[in-house]
A and B are shown apart, each in its own frame.
Chain A
Amino acid sequence: MMHILDEIRERFGAEWQNEQRPDLLQIGVQAKTIVPLLTWLKAHTPFVQLTHLSAVDWIEDGEFQLTYLLTDPKAHVSLMVCTRIDREQAEAESIHALWPQAVTYEQEINEMFGIHFPGSPRQGVPFILEGWNDIPPMRRDFDTVAYMNSHHPSRPGREHTDPRAYIGKVFGERGYLHDDD
Chain B
Amino acid sequence: MDNKPKSTLPVLVEPPKGAQPHGPLGHGYFLGETKRQQALPMRESLAKIKNWFRANSLWVMAYGTGCGGIELRPLTTARFDFERFGMAMRPTPRQSNVIIISGYLAVKSLKRVIRAYEQMPSPKWVVGLGSCTINGGMYWDSYNTINRLDLYVPVDIYIAGCMPRPEALLAGFGELMKMIKRGEANGWNHYLENFDWYKENQKKVINDWNMPDYNW
The chain B residue with its CB closest to the CB of A155 is: B135
Q: How far is the CA of A128 from the CA of B207 in the complex (A)?
A: 14
Q: How far is the CA of A89 from the CA of B59 in the complex (A)?
A: 54
Q: Which of A50-58, A97-105, A141-149 lies at the binding interface?
A: A141-149
Give the number of residues in B that approach A within 8 Å (Cβ atoms). 25
Asked whether, in the complex, the Cβ of B151 is within 8 Å of the Cβ of A131, the reply is: no
- Which residues 153-179 of A have a CB within 8 angstroms of B? 153-155, 157-158
Q: Is B182 on the interface with A (CB-CB < 8 A)?
A: no
Q: How far is the CA of A133 from the CA of B207 in the complex (A)?
A: 8
In the complex, per-residue mask of B22-60: 1 if CB is within 8 Å of any chain A CB, else 0: 000000000000000000000000000000000000000
Q: Is A151 on the interface with B (CB-CB < 8 A)?
A: yes
Q: Is A15 on the interface with B (CB-CB < 8 A)?
A: no
Q: How far is the CA of A153 from the CA of B146 in the complex (A)?
A: 8
Asked whether, in the complex, the Cβ of B134 is within 8 Å of the Cβ of A144, the reply is: no
- Which residues 71-125 of B have a CB within 8 angstroms of A? 107-108, 111
Dominant SS among interface residues on chain B:
loop
- Pick from A128, A132, A147, A154: contact of B148, CB below 8 A: A154
Q: Is A20 on the interface with B (CB-CB < 8 A)?
A: no
Asked whether, in the complex, the Cβ of B136 is within 8 Å of the Cβ of A130, the reply is: no
- Pick from A128, A130, A153: contact of B151, CB below 8 A: A153
- Which residues 39-60 of A have a CB within 8 angstroms of B? none
The chain A residue with its CB closest to the CB of B11 is: A153
The chain A residue with its CB closest to the CB of B207 is: A131
Interface centre among B12, B136, B141, B205 (most CB of A within 10 A): B141
Asked whether, in the complex, the Cβ of B111 is within 8 Å of the Cβ of A144, the reply is: no
Asked whether, in the complex, the Cβ of A155 is within 8 Å of the Cβ of B134, the reply is: yes
- Pick from A130, A137, A152, A153: contact of B108, CB below 8 A: A130
- Chain A interface size, as a band, is 20 to 34
Interface centre among A128, A130, A144, A158 (most CB of B within 10 A): A130
Q: Is B143 on the interface with A (CB-CB < 8 A)?
A: yes
Residues of B within 8 A of A131 (CB): 107, 206-208
Q: Is B10 on the interface with A (CB-CB < 8 A)?
A: yes
Asked whether, in the complex, the Cβ of A148 is within 8 Å of the Cβ of B143, the reply is: yes
Question: When A130-B208, A158-B140 are in contact, do A152 and B146 touch as well, CB less than 8 Å?
Answer: yes
CB pairs A–B below 8 angstroms (29 shown): A130-B108, A130-B111, A130-B208, A131-B107, A131-B206, A131-B207, A131-B208, A142-B143, A144-B142, A145-B141, A147-B143, A148-B140, A148-B141, A148-B147, A150-B8, A151-B8, A151-B10, A151-B204, A152-B136, A152-B145, A152-B147, A152-B205, A153-B9, A153-B147, A153-B148, A154-B147, A154-B148, A155-B135, A157-B135
Chain A residues at the B interface, C-beta cutoff of 8 Å: 128-133, 137, 142, 144-145, 147-148, 150-155, 157-158
Other A-B contacts than A130-B208, A145-B141, A157-B135, 18 sampled, CB-CB below 8 A, are A129-B108, A130-B207, A133-B207, A137-B143, A137-B144, A144-B141, A144-B142, A148-B136, A148-B140, A151-B204, A152-B136, A152-B147, A152-B205, A153-B9, A153-B10, A153-B147, A155-B135, A155-B147
